[in-house]
């Protein structure tokens, strides 16, 4: 009998990463000024505007949907991991100042990034997905 613990563990990882990323993406609709501030002050992208926040938020939410159902795992899992990586790399100065609130909250992205990278590496074992079900047939 095959061991089902690995696919279940990967499903849990995928759902919790999706919840984290969906909350992060939803802020682009609720607080578009934060999007502009982060992209200008953290990433140095002066062209970012609050109007762009909705477009980026919609793209990210679509990606989260594809990610949560496990469609095109290599691409969607990779894209989520890369975006989380950009967020963690961009927050390195805040991570170093972790004793100051709210900088300590930035550390939540580090294990999320680790989980996303692990999920990407183990994506072929993530069976409870659209792609995993297609492989069975």
**What is the CB neighbour count within 10 angstroms for residue 100?**
8
CA 69, distance to chain mean position in Å, is 14
Residue 113 placed within a domain: yes
pLDDT on residue 39: 81
Tell me the pLDDT tens digit for each residue of 23-77.
989 999 999 888 888 888 777 778 888 888 899 999 999 999 999 999 999 999 9
Number of domains present in the structure of the chain: 1
Question: Does residue 137 belong to any structural domain of this protein?
Answer: no
Q: What is the sign, positive or negative, of the torsion defined by CA atoms of 94, 98, 99, 100?
A: positive
Output the pLDDT for position 44.
78
pLDDT of residue 1: 47
Q: What average pLDDT does this structure show over 70-85?
A: 96
pTM given for the model: 0.88
In order, the DSSP letters of 20-81 are HHHHHHHHHHH-HHHHHHHHHHTS--TT--HHHHHHHHHHHHHHHHHHHHT-SHHHHHHHHH
Higher pLDDT among residues 58 and 98, named by residue: 58
Residue 136: band (very low, low, confident or very high) from pLDDT cuts 50, 70, 90: low
* Residue 21 CB contacts under 8 Å (≥ 6 apart), including other chains: 60, 64, 67, 80, 83, 84
Q: Which has the higher per-residue pLDDT, 10 or 37?
A: 10
């Amino acid at each position: 009998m095959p061991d089902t613990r690995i696919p279940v563990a990967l499903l849990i990882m995928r759902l919790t990463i999706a919840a984290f990323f969906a909350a992060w993406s939803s802020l682009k609709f609720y607080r578009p000024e934060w999007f502009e501030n982060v992209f200008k002050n953290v990433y140095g992208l002066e062209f970012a505007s609050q109007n762009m926040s909705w477009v980026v938020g919609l793209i990210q939410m679509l990606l989260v949907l594809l990610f949560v159902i496990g469609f095109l795992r290599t691409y969607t899992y990779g894209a989520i991991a890369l975006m989380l990586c950009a967020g963690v790399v961009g927050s390195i100065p805040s991570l170093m100042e972790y004793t100051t609130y709210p900088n300590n909250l930035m550390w939540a992205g580090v294990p999320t990034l680790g989980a996303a990278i692990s999920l990407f590496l183990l994506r072929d074992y993530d069976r409870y997905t659209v792609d995993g079900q297609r492989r069975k047939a």
